[in-house]
Amino acid sequence: MCGIIGYIGTKEASPILLSGLKRMEYRGYDSYGFCFLNDGKASLFKRVGKIDNTEKEFLGKDFVGQIGIGHSRWATTGLVTQENAHPHCDCKKEIFVVHNGIVENYKELKAKLIKEGHIFESETDTEVIAHLIEKYYVNNLEGAVGKALRDIRGTYGLAVISTKDPEKIVAARMSSPLIIGVGVDEFLVASDPSAIITRTRQIINLDDGEIAILKKDGFCILKEEKEAQKNIETIDWDIEQAEKGGYEHFMLKEIMEEPSVIEDAMRGRLLEDEGLVKLGGLESVQDQLRKIDNITLIGCGTAHYAAKIGEYMLEEYANIPTLTDIGSEFRYRKPIVNKSTAAIFVSQSGETADTLAALREMKAKGVLTLGVTNVVGSSQSRETDAGVYTRSGPEIAVASTKAFLGQLTILSLITIYLGRQRDMSIVTGKRIISELMKIPELAREILKQKNEIKKIAEKYKNCRDFWFIGRKYNYPIALEGALKLKEVSYVHAEGLAGGELKHGPLALIDENCPTIAICPTDSVYEKMISNIEEIKARKGKIIAIATVGNEEIEKIADDVIYIPKTLEMLTPILSVIPLHLFAYYFADSLDRDIDKPKNLAKSVTVE
């Protein structure tokens, strides 16, 4: 959720850390800070608010030093104050810590440290770590960090520097993402690859329980006090992919990339003549997959809606009983699973805390675990038994759009893969693949309507309540459409299964509460028309998402956005695109901070 950046090398650290922190602004934050070491002295700078507001002040300080750490904080424990901003330090201001995560037992640790004479300056849980390191420091920083972490219960990604051991950065991870960047005569530590991509594409992903010691002339990674051998991986995207490319906001850029994301997710994976798909990430478990007789799909937020659509696909076409659950709920249930269960975890970042907790619970029960994620080397991708990458590229806007399309595409491929292992015929496999291959171009046809969608969004800009309704495959799309509108515009919106209207929500319908009805020409179209008529009878406004050629819908809807015809199971890939555009243009008409909506962060790495 928050951002960590650290640098040690032969260059001045301050511009590198400032640039890295700015590249993580999309994650959301409310305060930030830096600490630099030079000639055994520390320089500390912490401020509340956005970097842009105080960047001139920071640059005016002319910080000197070739080693430093920085952090952007999203308040959890403690208010948004300068004192609570990171880095935090010990009593003597010799040890400095930046930290993502939660120290669950910080209150008892803090009380004990205070009794021992330690003086605290903040309300945060993180400051406890600095004082513990101070308590245990004897000869070297990494030894003190290791002892301090043994006292902590919770999660952490952290970086530590000290005037007492000024030629190194010590970094550690437990259930919070952290990577090491390997450059030329320099090393970096960060919680997000975007922070270091301008310096290096060579990275090492830290695993839980590992401690990294970075020096100017090399690095070492320890696991249980023994040196661990780690592979250097290459980031498979470049900085141009993370730039706006002429668009006003990353969200719009990423929506416009959706057709390419669909293509990339399918590239090299379709065997059209055989009605099969090739998923290299599942080859190691293909025999186990033949034996499963039920599936559980787990995700949070937008990923949960993608999983719900996957549930419909897998049951209808792969003939496998499938359940979907929210990560934050699943982890507290007592799920009934067995050796014939497979669990599929869906996450854009692969670092979603609740999804990872559910993953670990399922692994402990001996369940086969699969992942659908976008980030190579993420915790989820390393901890699942097997998985498939969405290949969506960097997604910067907090509101996920193109990654959702990647997830839906991959779930379509997994459906074919598992279906053809069972009773799906070659004819059905070929038909789905044939239609999938058309989807990118059909998506581009929808994007050509962006100006018309913009006009519709601006028409309703004064409304403060919306309903989104859909059925079957498009019920989760109603949920996704409502979520996007809430996220970026801050207006109230609710997604609903169309058949649930008469069970209460109709009471809220009036001329000031529009409904976006997702009603393509499919197996539940007539039912959706019945729901629309219920709304119209109560003077509600209707914005319909309908199939090209359906002119009858114009007689009952106030506005219509058309999508091309495709297979019913693939319709959600198309029907969600106009909803993404609607949310974007609606928020833009209200002059919202679209890429960094208030109160939200890109990757939810804490519970």
Write out pLDDT tens, residues 394-428: 888 889 999 999 999 999 999 999 999 999 999 99
> What confidence score (pLDDT) does residue 242 get?
64
Domain(s) labelled CATH 3.60.20.10 in the chain stretch across 3-235
Q: What is the pLDDT of residues 316-328, one digit of tens each?
A: 999 999 999 999 8
Domain(s) labelled CATH 3.40.50.10490 in the chain stretch across 240-448, 449-593
Q: Rounded CA gap, 418 and 276, in Å?
A: 10
Buried residues in 255-290 as b, exposed as e (16+ CB within 10 A) = bbbbbbbbbbbbeebbeeeebbbebebbeebeeebe
User: Which one is catalytic: 110, 472, 484, 602?
Assistant: 602
Instruction: Find out if CATH 3.60.20.10 is the number for domain 3-235.
Output: yes
User: Dihedral of the CA atoms 286, 287, 292, 296 (nearest 10)?
Assistant: -30
Query: Which of the 8 DSSP states describes residue 229?
Result: P
Helix, coil or strand: residue 264? helix
In 3D space, the residue among 350, 353, 482 whose CA is nearest the CA of residue 407 turns out to be 350
Q: Rounded CA gap, 292 and 106, in Å?
A: 43
The answer to whether 23 touches 194, Cβ cutoff 8 Å, is: yes
pLDDT at 26 over 80: no
Residue 2: active-site member: yes
User: Which one is catalytic: 2, 89, 513, 519?
Assistant: 2
CATH superfamily for 449-593 is Glucose-6-phosphate isomerase like protein; domain 1 (3.40.50.10490)
Confidence of residue 606 (pLDDT cuts 50, 70, 90): low
**Phi/psi class of residue 54: alpha, beta or left (left: φ > 0; alpha: ψ in -120 to 50)?**
alpha
Q: What is the pLDDT of residues 221-262, one digit of tens each?
A: 999 889 999 999 988 766 666 677 678 999 999 999 999 999
Residue 602: active-site member: yes
Instruction: Find out if CATH 3.40.50.10470 is the number for domain 240-448.
Output: no
Helix, coil or strand: residue 520? coil
